[in-house]
Each structure stands twice: as structure tokens, then as C-alpha cells.
Structure 1
Amino acid sequence: MNAQQDAPVDSWRGLPAAQQPTWPDEQALGGVLSDLAAAPPLVFAGECDQLRSRLASVARGDAFLLQGGDCAETFDAVSADQVRDKVKTLLQMAAVLTYATSVPVVKIGRIAGQYSKPRSQPTERRDGAELPVYRGDAVNGLEFTAKSRTPDPERLKRMYHASAATLNIVRAFTTGGYADLRQVHDWNQDFVASSPVGERYERLAREIDRALAFLQACGAQPREFRSTEFFSSHEALILDYEAALTRRDSRTGQWYDVSGHMIWIGERTRQLDGAHIEFASKVRNPIAVKLGPNVTADEALALIDRLDPDQEPGRLSFITRMGAGRVRDVLPGLVEKVTASGAQIAWICDPMHGNTFTAPSGHKTRRFDDVLDEVRGFFEVHRELGTHPGGIHVELTGEDVTECVGGGADIRLDDLAHRYESACDPRLNRYQSLDLAFQVAELYQDRIVTRDLPRPATELLAAD
């Protein structure tokens, strides 16, 4: 079907592949995939290697990961202003976290590829009509019409071009002076001054201000002040697209999925005998797997055997999405068993997906307090076990939307319809995202104060 047909990464074909679209025209799909197989890479193997090295630091406890962006990107949102606002929000969060943690913060966007979403049902009913469910702009349209909801493989090419345009904008912003640390700090000072809860963070903002003033007085002008590393990631959901964008690295002969620096496998597609795990096992990119509250420690260990058999730091991350009410019960057993196995996994908290509910208005939403409580539980578990809370994975936007309730802006259920713009799941807005960053910074500082108290998980298991 494409130039990669005989590659080792095509071993997934013929295995059960969950959440794949039913394309009505196989010939048209084949033509699109052939075009994609001949297209230039969106990212390069060396960049993926660099991210794997950064994630190895996260796994060892020497760095912290901030991963965030849209639930589902849309083609209409590929503009310099909208991409800039997302990048700006992540840079602001990273500046706060870098100072508070005293370790490098690895910045990864859910960006330039997050155009498809797994869904609970294959179809949707409205007013007696039943149509295919919206699976993201990579597959079909949001409008509830037969034409819009019919999967169209030409959209895969649109996803490629939209991703390329987004990456160009991101690279321009992160290397062209927009990411200057002093400018980012000025933005955060504006947040502290204008946010209803800004006074909570004045102390930390003043400390950062004094640190920057000291460095400037010393004449320190490091390159990192003016630019920053920024990586892209998305869920590797549509396997035809991912396989078409897989290339053999001329340096090493190994295979890389050049659609993004990191790819992850979702909770709905992580079957050990399924196509998604098989595909991920064949590429050299950093890989992450989402783990929900029903995962077992044995399943986690089996995923390590499939995806990281050499137990290489930086290769595999587990993104836990337990829900605020389950994280303290489920996570300890997973972390204990994985740590005892010797695997060096980066543990990341996704506090969004386990805390979704439907408001009386019909909008899907999340409570900021629930999001924060899951992060707090994540830190508590790692503090008790003596392991490293590696980072957070958050659905967010740089826009002032009203999709999640609570937070410093005190969005209420009645406010959701005011600016509910997500194509799929609710996102934290700019103020809520920065509010979360400051509170995570406080949690990390508390961890530093008490880090000598717990015993490592391996010692706890030995004692048992």
C-alpha cells in the first residue's frame, strides 16, 4: 500500500487494531498513503534521540516533564496566534516549574499531530438520525451531516500539512526570541497581578525576579535565556498514517516514526496482542502508554517487556490517568512492582481524563479541584515510596475558554456555554493552566523538603 509495506514496522498489519476508521474507498486511501510515504519527515531521528535523552533524566529523577496542549487539534486552529498562545502558556508554566523544582523542565506539546481521537461508540444519534462518530479532523468533520461524518483519507494529507505548518510556527517562536526567559517571567508577573488568586504566588514570583536580577547583574546571558527546546507528541492512533511516516535512519539503520518526537498509546488501544503495541515496539521514538485505574501491575510489567525489554531510561513513560478518587489506591502497587523490576520508567500524571463528567447543560467538563487533587495524590504516592513524580500531562489551551469549572477565575457550571470551543474534551484555560503550574511547583517544593524521609520502593518490598 505504501513504500514502507515490507518494513519491519509493518508487522502490526493483520493484528487486531482498535479505533481505526472504516475508510469507504481503499483505493483512495492507498493513494494518500503512497503520497505520505514519499513526503519529507516532520521531525528527525536525531531530535527523537535528544528527547529520549531528556526523558532519561526524568526517569532518573533529574528532570521534570511538562506535556500539554489541545485534546484534539483542528485544521481551523492552525494560525500563528493560536499556536503562539499555546506555546506561551506552556513556556509560562515551565518557567515557574523550572525555578521551583531546580531541575530542567522538558517541554512537550500535544501538538502538530493530535488530530484524531478514540471514541467510546462508533456512531452517534441525534434527532433520530445515526451517523459515524466524529473521530477528529484527521478522519471526518464535526458537523452532524452524512457528508461531513464520512471518513475521508484526504484528511490524512491535510493533517500532515497542518502538522508541518504548526511545527514551523513552534520552531520560529521557540528559537527566535519569543521564548526569552525574561519575557516569559514578565508574562507570569502580569498573571500574578491580574489573576484573582495571584496574591498566592507573589512570593514565588518575587524569588524568580530576584534570581533573574542577580544573573543579569553578574552579566550572565546564557543561550537558554533566549531560546528553548520544545518537542511534539501525539497519540499514535491511526496506524496507516503512522506507518506511512516511518523512516529508516540513515545513521543507524533503525526505524523512527517521523510524525512526532514522542508517540503514545492510549488506554483504549494498549492491548498486548494488538496492532498499536506491536507498531510502537518497532520504532525507536520515545514511547508512552496511558494507564487507567483498571490496569494491573502484571499488565504494566508486560508492557515493559514488549516496549522496553532492555530497560533503557528514556525509552518508555507511563502516563497514569486514575481519577482523583482512585489514584491513591491504584498507583502505589504499580509503582512498587515496576520499581522492583529494575525498569527506569518516567512516571507522568494525566489528571484530566479520569475526572470528566457531564454537566446538566450537556457539556463534558472537569473540576479544577479534582484535577489538582489527582496531581496531589500522584505526588503523595511518590513521596511515600521514595520515587520520582516525573511530570504532568495536561489538556490545555492558551485561550480564555470556559470548559473546565473552578480555578482562580471561578468558572461555574452555568458559564460553560459562554466559550466552550473544544472539538472533543474540555481543556484548562490560560488562567487555570498557570494556576495549576504554581500549585504543582508548591507540591514539588514540599517533596524536596521531605525527600529524605521515605525508603525506596525496592527496600519496602524487600522488607515485606
Structure 2
Amino acid sequence: MHPELLDTTHTTWRARPAAHQPGWPDPAPLADVLDRLRVAPGVVTPAGCDDLRSRLAEVAAGRAFVLQGGDCAETFAGVRSDSVRDKLKTLLQMAVVLTYAGSVPVVKIGRMAGQYAKPRSSPVETLDGATLPVYLGDAVNGFAFDAATRTPDPRRLWQAYEASRATMAMVDDYAHNGYAGLDQLHRWNRDFVASSPAGERYEEVALEIDRALRFMRACGAHTDELRSVNVFASHEGLLLDYEDALTRPGPGGASYATSGHMLWIGERTRALNGAHVAFFRSIANPIAVKVGPNTTINEVCAYVEQLNPDGIAGRLTFITRMGASTIRDRLPDLITAIRDAGPPVAWVCDPMHGNTIKSNGIKTRALPDVLDEVRGFFEVHRTLGTHPGGLHVEFTGEDVTECLGGTAEIRPDDLPTRYESVCDPRLNRSQSLDLAFLVAELL
């Protein structure tokens, strides 16, 4: 490990302004929960974090691709075997298509096992004349619109920890018990192609993967890599008390946030003089920063200087969330500045958050806009001769109706049918696979 990277006194963030932290009504229950978390086993291990960093180093070098995805906001009710299985199934099915199309390893990172808190644009919500605290994620308060449920409750931090541990255990079990075998994943994709209205468009890729699998079997390639996968856990490191309480010493004296393998700083909390940047500087995990259309060249250079001063490959990822209408204009200058500065950085595209719209008063996203931002991301990188390192997508494995378009042809009138997200709209399984096959054409 590289202790020179770190400010190992990871409590120095407390001297900085911390944005989007809950207004806990009583400090005593919070202190009790944090004391319990400080002695609890981690959700992940430092060794797993180091493993992911080494794989992200390959992404930064242009030799691998990232697929990061899952719920906008996990819920405690969603910690069910079928729900976790279906999200993992969708992630892995997408990864099979992208692996073949890109001819490079795909690093699979779930937006799961920790994504229980969200920053919001307003601290309150008004409904039918009543004003209450806004829903901040199950780790803070409940979604139901009543005063008791919406009051921040620190006991939920322990529930979030237990839910994360349970989810990670299910992910590990599915990833290594044969469920994630390459033959099975591709068989599911073939079933999707056969039933999809766009099946003919996807048929060529599916047939090519068939031929590749037959060739490997003919050569006797039945390695463990074909029967199991590594899936890493990530979330926005928003609640600093929680993250700090789960920080543990690791090899070489470094500190690791054991709440997840990879944490990211959100667009709303990336202030250079803020507590989040200070805390992230103190941990050895691979980390990311979300950058939107208003991010400046000076800011991205400062993130590199503060968060990865030693230029460690795989340490820092930029997740771009520009919007389809602006990515081609805003992204080139940022990439050029980092490329010319020289440190290895991975670039990943979040095509969801910059394309949120309202249809009939319902928050949604249109799949054509999502795809156009991905297309713009690839165009910019190819023009500059840099590596489009991956995708960061909000999706679910269920047949929800939260985003418009796709081969399922979800229209505005369909949105209320199964709109189940407690925060932002997600692609359903069919739309996620649509995206994977369409990105395969770009790769």
C-alpha cells in the first residue's frame, strides 16, 4: 500500500464544512449507533478494495472497461433474494455483451450494498399543504409522508449497515455458486434477443458470442473465470459519520472505508474545501468524483492534486454526468487538461443524471437521451485519442415503467403503471439490455 497518499488521521474532515448531512434531532442515539459501528465487521475488506483498485488501473490504462450500476437509492424492503438476484443478473448480462464487443475485461461494480442515502435539492417537501423533511434515503428517514417517518432517525444507520452486509453476502453467493456462469448468462441474453422487438438488430452480436463460446469449449476452456465472477460494491460516500465509523486500518498503516469497495463524491458535495474531499483524501479505497457540466478545468486538476497526489493508477475515477446536450461541448477540455497533466485517471459516463425530465408531472428519463450522451462520451474520447472507460447506470432487474423508450416502448401514459423508485427513475431490465447491445455497437 502507499501510506504517503494518505492523511491517516481520517477525522480531520470534521474541521471542514460538511454539506448534505442529516439534521439528527438527538445526538445521544447517534453516538450509540456510531459506537456500535466502530467495532462491527466491515461490509468489505481492504484486500477487496485493493483488488478493485488494481482492476481500475487497467481501465485507466485503456485495457479494461467499467460497468457500474444498480438502484438510484436502495431500500431496506429491497433486501430480498429475488431483488438482489435480478439486479445482479441484469448487471452480468450487460457485462457479457460489453465484454465481447470491447474485447477487454469488464470490471463489474454494483451500485448496491450501501446506496441508502441521497442528497436532495431541497431539505423539505410540501404535499397537500403540509411541509415535512424531504426523504434522504432509508439510512436517514422513511419514504412515507408523515412526520414520524420523515424525522431523521440515527438507528437507521445500523439498519443500513445490516442491509449492506446481507446484500453483499447474497451478491458473493450468486457470483460464485455457478449462477453467474458465462454459458448461463449468455443463454439468458439469447432468450432476451429472441423475445425483443429489436431482436434482429441484436442477433448478430448474439450469434458471434455463440461462436466464441463454442470455440472456447472446443479448446477445452472451462476455467473458473467462466463459471464465477467478481462483483464489487460501490455507493456515494455521503453520510460522513457513518463512513468514518466504518473506517479501519489496513496494510501499511493506510485507512480503508470498509462500507464499500469504491466510494464516490457526488456533484452536490464535491467542494474542494469541503468535508467530503477531506475525508476521501484520508482513505485508501479507489474513489470517484461525479463531475457535471459546470465543472471547471481548475477543479478537476485540483481533485487530482488533492485526492491522488502520488499518481497511483486506479485510485481516482471521474464519473461524468453532463447531459446529452452538453457533453460534446464541456467534456473535451476536462479530459485534455487531465491527459496533458499526466496522472492515470479512469473516465466513466453516467448518462442518467444529466437527462432527467418531467413527463405529465412525473420525473423520468428517455432512453434515446441516455444513449445519445453515451454516444457523445465515446465520440469525445475517440477524437482526443483517450479511453472511454465505462458506464455508470441506474437500473433495476424488475419490469418497472420509470424511463421512456426502449424496445418495450414505454410511453408517458405508461409511467404510472409500475413507477416504484423512491428517488430517481431507473432503466428496467429490458431497457438496460437495450443499452448494452447499443453500446456494443459503439465498442
Letter in 2 for 1:181: L
Distance 2:271 2:317 in 1: 16
User: What is the correspondence of 1:49-448 to structure 2 with a 5 Å cutoff?
Assistant: 49-249=50-250, 251-360=251-360, 362-444=361-443
**Contact 2:8–2:282 (8 Å) recurs in 1:** no
Which 5+ residue runs of structure 1 have no aligned equivalent?
1-5, 445-464
Which 5+ residue runs of structure 2 have no aligned equivalent?
1-6
**Contact 2:8–2:283 (8 Å) recurs in 1:** no
- Name 1:455's counterpart in structure 2: none
Letter in 1 for 2:183: R
Q: Which runs of 4+ in 1 moved over 2 A?
A: none
Letter in 2 for 1:337: A
Distance 1:63 1:219 in 2: 25
Letter in 2 for 1:37: R
Give the deviation of 1:220 after TM superposition: 1.4
Distance 1:311 1:242 in 2: 24
Q: Could you report, residue by residue, the CA deviation over 1:217-264 in whole angstroms, capped at 9, with x for unpaired residues?
A: 222101111100100000000000000000011x32110000000000
Q: Could you report, residue by residue, the CA deviation over 1:158-207 in whole angstroms, capped at 9, with x for unpaired residues?
A: 00000000001000000110010000000000010001112101001001
Q: Could you report, residue by residue, the CA deviation over 1:413-438 in whole angstroms, capped at 9, with x for unpaired residues?
A: 00000000001000000000001001
Give the deviation of 1:7 after TM superposition: 6.6
Letter in 2 for 1:366: R
Give the deviation of 1:128 after TM superposition: 1.3
Give the deviation of 1:30 after TM superposition: 0.2
Letter in 2 for 1:195: S
Give the deviation of 1:215 after TM superposition: 1.1
The SS at the match of 1:388 is coil
Q: Could you report, residue by residue, the CA deviation over 1:355-399 in whole angstroms, capped at 9, with x for unpaired residues?
A: 001111x21100000000000000000000000000000000000
The SS at the match of 2:11 is helix
Distance 2:382 2:34 in 1: 47
- Name 1:456's counterpart in structure 2: none
Letter in 1 for 2:222: Q
**Contact 2:34–2:242 (8 Å) recurs in 1:** yes
Q: Could you report, residue by residue, the CA deviation over 1:58-111 in whole angstroms, capped at 9, with x for unpaired residues?
A: 000000000000000000000000000000000000000001101000000000
Give the deviation of 1:278 after TM superposition: 0.2
Distance 2:28 2:199 in 1: 57
Q: Could you report, residue by residue, the CA deviation over 1:306-325 in whole angstroms, capped at 9, with x for unpaired residues?
A: 10111111000000000000
Give the deviation of 1:14 after TM superposition: 2.5
Distance 1:146 1:7 in 2: 40
Distance 2:393 2:60 in 1: 19
Aligned residues: 437
**Contact 2:8–2:254 (8 Å) recurs in 1:** no
Letter in 1 for 2:376: G
The SS at the match of 1:9 is coil
Residues 170 and 242 (structure 1), Cα distance of their counterparts in 2 relative to 1, 3 Å cut: same
Distance 1:417 1:343 in 2: 46
Letter in 2 for 1:135: L
Distance 2:27 2:73 in 1: 25
- Name 1:39's counterpart in structure 2: 40
The SS at the match of 2:264 is strand
TM-score, scaled relative to structure 2: 0.98
Distance 1:319 1:10 in 2: 26
Distance 1:213 1:11 in 2: 56
Q: Could you report, residue by residue, the CA deviation over 1:1-34 in whole angstroms, capped at 9, with x for unpaired residues?
A: xxxxx97111000310000000001011000000
The SS at the match of 1:8 is coil
> What value does the CA root-mean-square deviation take over the aligned residues?
0.9
Distance 1:421 1:10 in 2: 38
- Name 1:448's counterpart in structure 2: none
Letter in 2 for 1:302: A
